[in-house]
Structure 1
């Protein structure tokens, strides 16, 4: 097994993750994370050690997407860097589609992914500029 740098596999992973985010599918979101996991931003950091903790950290995301009428998310992969035999750093800009079919700019994140037998999982998320 090697670090996932295959763009098709990474695109499939982020498509699944984006669909889970916009639909509020908390178990599917949690299944995209390695445990323990870490989220880092300019003013906060938090970690989680269970699928329930991952799900709890995303409870507010689905209503936010619904309030903004965002119905789909697409991860535009900007950079892929193998970090070790099983770790890959992936820079992503999220693009959203609203209920009227308009593109809505998103945010940028870097994801440290670990390759497992089931595919990539997120170890660390860093919100970037």
Structure 2
């Protein structure tokens, strides 16, 4: 069996590719339900793939304003919580179609191993709101 770090890399490589393509349906397939999103200013639960797909589609419209074309990431921490649970901290990096760096943002994901693959059950955006506000100001994009 592939080591944990390799399994997580494979998972987030494919997830990141779905984000790059703005494929909300594919991205929602990486989640288990209900899934939870919580930050300093928001807490919510999504009970179905359709709910998540709708939310991601709305978020993707926001990102399209910045000509988002490439998404990369790096793990900043991987913590085994239990036999099936893993907490992962990731820095996502966002680039436009010219390869220009737009912004980065840190997230914590709680994943559960199910049938030899992972599903995201909790997402904690650590600085997304601040980073998006900075990007809006930098690019002078109306909200």
Scaled by the length of structure 2, the TM-score of the pair is: 0.81
Greater relative contact order (CA < 8 Å, ≥ 6 in sequence): 1
2:13 matched to which residue of 1? Answer: 15
1:104 matched to which residue of 2? Answer: 102
Contact 2:106–2:125 (CA under 8 A) maintained in structure 1? yes
State how far apart, in whole Å, the 2-side matches of 1:5 and 1:88 are.
13
Matched, 1:74 2:79: no
Q: Any residues of structure 2 matched to 1:6-85 within 5 Å, and which?
A: 6-85=4-83
Matched, 1:126 2:124: yes
Aligned length: 127
- The two structures, once aligned, show a CA RMSD in angstroms of 1.8
State how far apart, in whole Å, the 1-side matches of 2:86 and 2:35 are.
15
Which structure shows the higher helix fraction? 2
Distance 1:54 1:47, change over 3 A: same
Contact 2:15–2:30 (CA under 8 A) maintained in structure 1? yes
Q: Secondary structure at the match of 1:85?
A: coil
Q: Displacement of 1:60 after TM fit? A: 1.4
Q: Secondary structure at the match of 1:16?
A: helix
Structure with larger Rg: 2
Scaled by the length of structure 1, the TM-score of the pair is: 0.90
Which structure shows the higher strand fraction? 1
Distance 1:5 1:44, change over 3 A: farther
State how far apart, in whole Å, the 2-side matches of 1:5 and 1:89 are.
15
State how far apart, in whole Å, the 2-side matches of 1:126 and 1:74 are.
18
> Unpaired segments of 5 or more residues in structure 2?
128-143
